Amino acid sequence: MRELTYLAAIREALIEEMTDDDAVILLGQDIRANLYGTAGFLDMFPEERIRDLPTSETACVGAAVGAAMTGLRPVVDMGSASFSFVALDQFISEVSKIHYMSAGRLKVPVTYRIPLMYNGGVGVQHSDRPYPMFMQMPGLKLICPTTASDAKAMMKAAIRDDDPVIVFEDTYNWSSRGPVADPPAPAPIGTAAIVREGDDVTVVGIGRTVAFALAAAGELADAGVSAEVIDLRSLAPIDWDTIFGSVEKTGRLVVADAAVSTCSAASEIAATVAEHRFEALRAPVRRVTSLPVHSPYTPALEREIYPDAGKITAAVRSVAKQASHGH
């Protein structure tokens, strides 16, 4: 099967959706000439459907909402997760709430691409992983595809969805390559994927921590520990059935999440499994998250704060060891 990079897969998804539906438009800063998968679109589509935006995040996020409410399907490139904070009122007060407060009279089929650029020396103000903040807002669909195939399938699903969808793109994955069928294998919003089967410990990963979890699982297999790895890929709704089913099998759970530990996606998953599948657990749930400090510029310090394969391996070993007492 042909292979594509993650970014090329998203580019294909955008081209296909824009070709299929004139209502799909692209909005973003620097999108006409940018590096994020949309260079050259001006040669393929009318200029009025490819809109470079002034640096006015609030107006741009809101304009996409108004356009979506009246028949367009805008895709907005936010450039960096940290820039989304400038427009937070629009995301919270408008994007997430309009469908509910209008009792469904107004629909908001809009897609926001929010790249997560961390562990790359871009400094304290450009390295945020804010998806847990958005998880606090009912009404949003939040996805974080990890493979090239899922990136294409989920981006297309997001654009066709009648609800607002935010696509968190872990930029670590942008250059990673993977097989992409035509059409891509389905990856419905709201589903997780078991990307490696195992029996002893469930490891849930998000974004780049999925790759770290897979690396950890490979190392642990050599040591006789069988880890099952789940790519969460949908942060809202969360696929509880897949997580619960895996924990019922393994009895142990480690959640790896590059967000800051406090009220993270990992926290939500850990709390929910502890509440609902306590009887299945043979060891305490472990979270492997970022430390609750800012992301410093210097690589010497920055690399310390994020999850990596070594931290995940250690967490899995610790719960596997505790579990051995019971079995």
Catalytic residue numbers?
57, 126
CB of 91 to other proteins, least distance (A): 11
Task: Determine whether 33 is exposed, middle or buried from the number of CB atoms within 10 Å of its CB (0-12, 13-18, 19+).
Answer: exposed
Neighbours of 323 (CB within 10 A): 18
CB of 54 to other proteins, least distance (A): 6
CA distances from 90 to 59, 64, 97, 168, 277 (A): 8, 10, 10, 17, 37
Coil, strand or helix at 289: strand
Q: In angstroms, rounded to a whole number, what is the distance separating the alpha carbons of residues 212 and 216?
A: 6
Residue 72 or 206 with smaller CB distance to other proteins: 72
CA 45 to chain centre: 28
Residue 72 or 315 with smaller CB distance to other proteins: 72
Residue 11 or 99 with smaller CB distance to other proteins: 99
Given phi > 0 = left and psi -120 to 50 = alpha, else beta, which region is 139?
Answer: left
Which residue ranges make up the site for other proteins (CB under 8 A)? Answer: 25, 48-49, 51, 53-54, 56, 58-72, 74, 89-90, 93-94, 98-107, 109, 138-139, 141, 161-163, 190, 237-238, 240-241, 244, 268, 271-272, 275-276
Residue 155 or 211 with smaller CB distance to other proteins: 155
Q: In angstroms, rounded to a whole number, what is the distance separating the alpha carbons of residues 272 and 276?
A: 6
CB of 234 to other proteins, least distance (A): 12
- All residues at 6 or more sequence positions from 219 whose CB lies less than 8 Å from its CB, including other chains: 309, 313
CB of 26 to other proteins, least distance (A): 12
Q: In angstroms, rounded to a whole number, what is the distance separating the alpha carbons of residues 170 and 151?
A: 11
CB of 35 to other proteins, least distance (A): 24
DSSP 32-90: TT-SSS-TTGGGTS-GGGEEE--S-HHHHHHHHHHHHHTT-EEEEE-SSGGGGGGGHHI
Neighbours of 245 (CB within 10 A): 16
Q: Is-contact 290 260, C-beta < 8 A? A: yes
What backbone phi and psi angles, to 5 degrees, belong to 63? -60, -35
Residue 96 or 127 with smaller CB distance to other proteins: 96
CB of 124 to other proteins, least distance (A): 23
